[in-house]
Amino acid sequence: MNERSRPFQSVDDVQQALRDQSYLADHGLGVAIHLALSLDKPLLLEGEAGVGKTEVAKALSAALSRRLIRLQCYEGIDASQALYEWDYSRQLIAVRALQAEDAARHLGDLFGEQFLVERPLLAAIRAGDSAVLLVDELDRADDEFEAFLLEVLSEFAVTIPEIGRVAAARPPAVVITSNRTRELHDALKRRCLYHWIDHPTLEREVEIIRVRAPEVPEELAQQVAAAVARIRQLDVAKRPGVAESIDWAHALAFLGADALDGEAAGATLGAVLKDHEDLEMVRSSLARVVGSDG
């Protein structure tokens, strides 16, 4: 195996490189990343909202000094929006600028590089292993798009009829994320290495808060992490992610709170819960959530 396909020597290496980018990966995630990069497989990350799926790709691209190419999926996304399109309005202007007889002769030029609009997948194919491709929230796209993506991921090549074949010499690192609003297909999963990102342990979450919100005192970080862990155990509709813990800690520190009591929590609860019913429920058991009821 050559050097380029193994940017990290060990799982520890992976964890340290990500830590240098302020991302704390646990051992399981470190193994998944190490394997995906070494075996040239896409890494499929699933997990609840805000557990740090998208951030893996960002931290990885920074750690590897590779360009991050992001394909944000959404309902109705299709191949041309993901791969390439022709710039129709520029083509039209070009045609108008030509005399009628010239236009016929120059028709081929209208489908040249200067009229091609590169979308993330084509950019990733061209960039090859100098990029990290993030396919974010694939569960939002429909089945058809998923099948198309699978095709691209197996070849890392595309034939543009007017231009020719474009192929990656070496595939980019690929991170795919899903919030599991629908199940992805087995065919796609089979091609990937899979890792489920769980909510972090209490100690890990404190550490993450300290890294991401360094102005927050240790004790406050601990209280926030503990309170968020308790909220997650309640029957809330939207369990807060790590992102919310960080936001909450920022908000509390900004308001000058040095401890999480019922009053401070009540005033800043909107940083951690974004659902009206959830807010009401947690408000009614604030003392228990902040751990001040003994």
Ligand X SMILES: Nc1ncnc2c1ncn2[C@@H]1O[C@H](COP(=O)(O)OP(=O)(O)OP(=O)(O)O)[C@@H](O)[C@H]1O
Angle at 33 between CA 32 and CA 38, to 5 degrees: 100
Which among 4-12, 76-84, 206-214, 221-229 is the span making contact with ligand X, rule CB under 6 A?
206-214
Which among 47-55, 149-157, 207-215, 221-229 is the span making contact with Mg ion, rule CB under 5 A?
47-55
Site for ligand X in 166-195 (CB under 6 A): 177, 179
Nearer Cβ to Mg ion (54/61)? 54
Binder of ligand X out of 243, 279, 281, 286 (CB under 6 A): 243
> Other C-beta atoms within 10 Å of 125: how many?
24
Binder of ligand X out of 23, 84, 145, 248 (CB under 6 A): 23
Give the residue among 278, 243, 208 at the shortest CA–CA distance from 269.
Answer: 278
User: Considering CB under 5 A, how many residues would be counted as binding Mg ion?
Assistant: 1
Integer Cα distance of 56 and 135 in angstroms: 12
> Per CB under 5 A, does 54 bind Mg ion?
yes
Which among 5-13, 92-100, 110-118, 208-216 is the span making contact with ligand X, rule CB under 6 A?
208-216
Residue listed under structure tokens 């990966």: 25
H runs (alpha helix) in the chain: 11-19, 27-38, 53-64, 79-82, 88-97, 100-105, 120-127, 143-155, 186-191, 202-212, 218-233, 242-254, 262-268, 276-283, 286-290
Which among 19-27, 50-58, 192-200, 241-249 is the span making contact with Mg ion, rule CB under 5 A?
50-58
> Per CB under 6 A, does 205 bind ligand X?
no
Q: Which residues pair with 193 in a beta bridge?
A: 43
DSSP state of 184: P
Contact 29, 198 (CB under 8 A): no
Nearer Cβ to ligand X (132/242)? 242
Q: Which residue is nearest to ligand X (CB)?
A: 52
Integer Cα distance of 289 and 285 in angstroms: 6
> Other C-beta atoms within 10 Å of 17: how many?
20
Residue type, 131: A
> Per CB under 5 A, does 178 bind Mg ion?
no
> Per CB under 6 A, does 212 bind ligand X?
yes
Nearer Cβ to ligand X (218/263)? 218
Binder of ligand X out of 213, 242, 271, 282 (CB under 6 A): 242
Site for ligand X in 39-68 (CB under 6 A): 47, 49-55
**What does the binding site for Mg ion look like in residue numbers (CB under 5 A)?**
54
**What does the binding site for ligand X look like in residue numbers (CB under 6 A)?**
22-24, 47, 49-55, 177, 179, 208, 211-212, 241-243, 246
